[in-house]
Amino acid sequence: MYQDNRHLSYASQQGSFRHTIPQQQAPPPQPQTKIVFVGNLSYFCEDRHLHDLFNEYGEVNNARVMRSDDNTRSLMFGFVTMSSVNQAKEMERIFNGHMFMGRKLRYDAVTVMVELCSTFD
């Protein structure tokens, strides 16, 4: 087997072939979003709790805790829409791992289903 920067060549009793190695490509850029996912919320967390927490550090357009179908309990995650992408990035630094209502928050920028979540604006 011979390898250079772009090709692999194989030789065997059945013949030889040359395979082009795809060039490594940079990962696609992450969408810039001001909507963030907040996980590991307490069962008792409500929209206003989430809004008040994030509003202390930046301007919150909307905060929504996802609830069960019968609206009786939290599903322990929610979405917060910040006023800018930069604020959303700053909130990750502040809140990822932050203790809130006895639980350690998990925080991620929303990269999937942005169109669905944008209805929370």
Task: Assess if residue 19 is contained within a domain.
Answer: no
Residue pointed to by tokens 């395979």: 19
Degrees to nearest 5, angle at CA 74 with 68 and 80 = 110
Task: Assess if residue 11 is contained within a domain.
Answer: no
- Residue-wise pLDDT tens for the chain (121 aa)? 444 445 555 555 555 556 555 566 665 555 577 888 899 999 899 999 999 999 998 899 999 999 988 877 889 999 999 888 888 888 888 888 889 999 999 887 765 444 444 455 5
Task: Assess if residue 20 is contained within a domain.
Answer: no
pLDDT of residue 41: 92
Predicted structure pTM score: 0.64
Task: Assess if residue 23 is contained within a domain.
Answer: no
pLDDT of residue 65: 93
Task: Assess if residue 17 is contained within a domain.
Answer: no
52-87: burial string, b at 16+ Cβ within 10 Å, e else: ebbeeebebebbbbeeeeeeeebebbbbbbbeeeeb
Give the total number of structural domains in the chain.
1
Nearest to 100, CA basis, from 59, 39, 37: 39
Residue pointed to by tokens 């809140």: 95
Domain that holds residue 82: 35-120
Cα–Cα distances in Å, from 113 out to 26, 36, 79, 89, 119?
A: 23, 12, 12, 18, 11
Task: Assess if residue 1 is contained within a domain.
Answer: no
Task: Assess if residue 89 is contained within a domain.
Answer: yes
CATH number of residue 107's parent domain: 3.30.70.330
